[in-house]
Structure 1
């Protein structure tokens, strides 16, 4: 991965065409979207994956609304308009906030395991945070297949929760996401929405997907079986198949009429 830096932003950009903006979750990273980064630039899309500044901003800016403003400013500064925002977990929540507030930036939204209505988290603290086996178990619970939680992934989570500053900021972000409930806002989001959900998601359970589908006026709901909270990692081929088919509904000429290329 070649990470570009521009002003305060770090991101990956690949391909040309309609922009797909991939937004990772609280415990996620740029590599969560490797399969999409490999596939969609070959199909006439530009893939952009910004790195969310989860741990390097002051506490008063460590919240879901501030992150949404950061991504909106990033898109404006690099010249993106009318993009498709694809968000997992916290990233989906950010996408929804931007879609509501910045119609100029968002053509459509894809949510997968998104927060914004209800999500299970570590709670108010990280109990047993120094217990590696506990963190390993919690990491495995994110997936239907626990083997997806590799040692490298578990090590990364273990490092985050045992770093005092990162641990505190993680809790701040988790709390702000839970407080920023969007149930009353979703009826005002009129862009096309694609919901791609794991049937065995224990973090944002299937009931959450059904509620998003009920409240979002122009949404479609797609399920992936034997799949947990991060479908694009656990079943990348199926995820891409659903996403490509959904994106193909919007003809290239309609994309070209509604956004400016970079």
Structure 2
């Protein structure tokens, strides 16, 4: 079955930002008037700033919305050192400094929801509100091992990737069924998402996947002081939904919203519902 997911809006051009020796590519909105704090968007594992284009369009008319390609993803070169959630959080803080963001709202998706958690923990005076999209965690050591294994399988996909995969409609639609409850009618969405996957730096993919069972993450959640919203797709096949309520339980000032008949990319599959929840939370 296919969905009525609208085609992605015309892309904001990729821009380049130099962070010392490091290069970060980004997309951003340029509103004529700004009435809300800036919003920083962090894509997930295997993604890029590209799939935030619906969010840039939906929320960028009256606020500065910024979506970087994190190191090793999209068009940004990889880190020289270790690539894990805490290392990427350091990059996000440096990126916010370079963009002149004194205080901002932060939205992290999938793997990079954990990056957003570390940023909020380190910079509580700067992160005004925190959104975590399609996040899960483990309730026991057994579940932590299962999460690790799931991400190891994803890393195996990475190791086996081949250029022909992006040209095979059967292949990228088969993979797409893991990410969407209903496949989009527009194949361009699936091709672009799979193109991001093929761009991902191999070492970054393996190291970030290996850090998915981070034992420090749950204790960090319990110490968060930032008001937090958790938005999840009820039929997410990438992040185990049984662990999502545990995130809401661990974070003191948090609220969980489910989107029904939705997979791992709610900003694309159910943009109106997703952006309404996000806007209501940020503007409350």
Q: TM-score, normalised by structure 1?
A: 0.83
Cα-to-partner distance string for 1:176-202 (whole Å, 9 max, x where unaligned): 233355111111001000011100011
CA displacement at 1:139 relative to structure 2 = 2.9
Matching residue of 2:13: 2
Cα-to-partner distance string for 1:15-71 (whole Å, 9 max, x where unaligned): 2341110111112122211222112132x3211111111252256332222111111
CA displacement at 1:3 relative to structure 2 = 2.5
3-state secondary structure, aligned to 1:170: helix
Count the aligned residue pairs.
246
CA displacement at 1:135 relative to structure 2 = 5.3
Q: Distance in 1 between matches of 2:223 and 2:124?
A: 11
> Which consecutive unaligned segments of at least 5 residues does structure 2 have?
1-11, 139-143
Q: Is the 1:129–1:158 contact (alpha carbons within 8 Å) kept by the matching residues of 2?
A: no
Q: 2:179 aligns with which of 142, 162, 177?
A: 142
Q: 2:65 aligned with 1:47, yes or no?
A: yes
Matches within 5 A, 1:58-73: 58=79, 60-73=81-94
Cα-to-partner distance string for 1:201-224 (whole Å, 9 max, x where unaligned): 111132222011110000011110
Q: TM-score, normalised by structure 2?
A: 0.77
Q: Is the 1:116–1:180 contact (alpha carbons within 8 Å) kept by the matching residues of 2?
A: no
Q: Is the 2:104–2:127 contact (alpha carbons within 8 Å) kept by the matching residues of 1?
A: yes
Matching residue of 2:104: 83
> Which consecutive unaligned segments of at least 5 residues does structure 1 have?
250-262
Q: 2:218 aligned with 1:218, yes or no?
A: no
Q: Greater shift after overlay, 4-13 or 189-198? A: 4-13
Q: Is the 1:135–1:158 contact (alpha carbons within 8 Å) kept by the matching residues of 2?
A: no
Q: Is the 1:140–1:147 contact (alpha carbons within 8 Å) kept by the matching residues of 2?
A: no
Cα-to-partner distance string for 1:107-155 (whole Å, 9 max, x where unaligned): 1110111256565332552376456555542332111012368356346
